[in-house]
């Protein structure tokens, strides 16, 4: 029986991971910040925990409920976009902190905690973005979000080195997906994005550790 852990699964891509893994009969533990988010997770037959990665106490709340448990697949999905800027509009300190504390510091709080919860042959993914790629950069729109996902990719690379031999760790671009963040005009429905990422995760080999992948398994430049 597989055992999946999802961080940030109240809606959008995270909740769709819960839905699809549960539809396959997989045991899922998933986190949300709100009562409504937890209810949506529980309605899919998953265990819901309350975790807010943007605060130290909120991220530490993950520890005791999963004490002694091991997961085959672990996904850090929590993320915010922040200001929808074009060009070089300097963010306020509050905007900078909100985005960086969730997308980067949140991952740096949660991922080290997961070291003790890796089942043999575990796979770990962060949901990053192609917008964080420096090699593929063709626009400066949303530069705070881009900087946060570039930093998240750096964090994932370090995690892949620290967890080498224990887990295969990758960064994902989920595609441009129709969610609250992606908007109604995005390319992909959430089911297609998540089905692609699940297929890619299932096919990962140890040599893929530390890689950056599109939802459909194509490697991406950092
Ligand atoms: N949609 C796209 O086109 C797209 C493209 C590239 C990358 N991504 C990435 O994919 C991931 C999921 O995005 P989405 O499209 O599903 O966005 P979404 O619908 O806005 O959902 C974001 C999720 O992150 C959670 N979250 C936000 N701040 C959190 C915090 N401090 N602690 C814990 N959870 C937190 C939200 O929980 P609440 O309900 O509590 O706010 C929600 O479950 C994000 O990392 C995003 O950057 C999305």
b/e string for 128-151 if b means 16 or more Cβ within 10 A?
Answer: bbbbbbeeeeeeeebbbbbbbbbb
Ligand 1 proximal residues by C-beta, below 6 Å: 8-14, 32-34, 37, 51-54, 77-80, 102, 106, 127, 129, 173-174, 176-177, 179-182, 186
Ligand 1: distance of its center to the CA of 101 in Å?
Answer: 13
User: Would you give the distance in Å from CA 24 to the centre of its chain?
Assistant: 20
Q: In the prediction, which pLDDT does 1 show?
A: 67
Q: In the prediction, which pLDDT does 97 show?
A: 98
Q: Residues 114-164: pLDDT tens digits?
A: 999 999 999 999 999 999 999 999 999 999 999 999 999 999 999 999 999
What is the residue with the minimal CA distance to atom 47 of ligand 1?
79
b/e string for 185-209 if b means 16 or more Cβ within 10 A?
Answer: eeebebebbbebbbebbeebeeebb
Classify residue 27 by its DSSP letter.
Answer: E
Ligand 1: distance of its center to the CA of 128 in Å?
Answer: 10
Q: Residues 18-69: pLDDT tens digits?
A: 999 999 999 999 999 999 999 999 999 999 999 999 999 999 999 999 999 9
């Amino acid at each position: 029986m597989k055992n999946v852990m999802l961080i940030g699964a109240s809606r959008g891509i995270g909740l769709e991971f819960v839905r699809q893994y549960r539809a396959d009969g997989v045991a899922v533990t998933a986190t949300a910040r709100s009562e409504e988010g937890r209810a949506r997770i529980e309605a899919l037959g998953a265990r819901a925990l309350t975790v807010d990665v943007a605060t130290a106490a909120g991220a530490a709340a993950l520890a005791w409920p999963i004490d002694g448990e091991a997961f085959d697949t672990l996904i850090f999905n929590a993320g915010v976009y922040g200001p929808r800027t074009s060009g070089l509009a300097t963010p306020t300190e509050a905007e900078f902190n909100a985005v960086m504390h969730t997308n980067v510091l949140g991952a740096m709080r949660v991922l080290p905690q997961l070291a003790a919860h890796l089942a043999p042959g575990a796979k770990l993914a962060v949901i990053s973005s192609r917008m964080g790629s420096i090699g593929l950069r063709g626009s400066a729109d949303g530069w705070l979000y881009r900087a946060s996902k570039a930093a998240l990719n750096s964090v994932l690379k370090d995690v892949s080195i620290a967890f080498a031999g224990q887990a295969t760790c990758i960064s994902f671009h989920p595609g441009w997906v129709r969610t609250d963040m992606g908007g109604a005009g995005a390319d992909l429905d959430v089911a297609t994005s998540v089905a692609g990422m699940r297929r890619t995760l299932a096919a990962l080999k140890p040599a893929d550790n530390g890689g950056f992948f599109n939802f459909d398994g194509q490697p991406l430049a950092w």
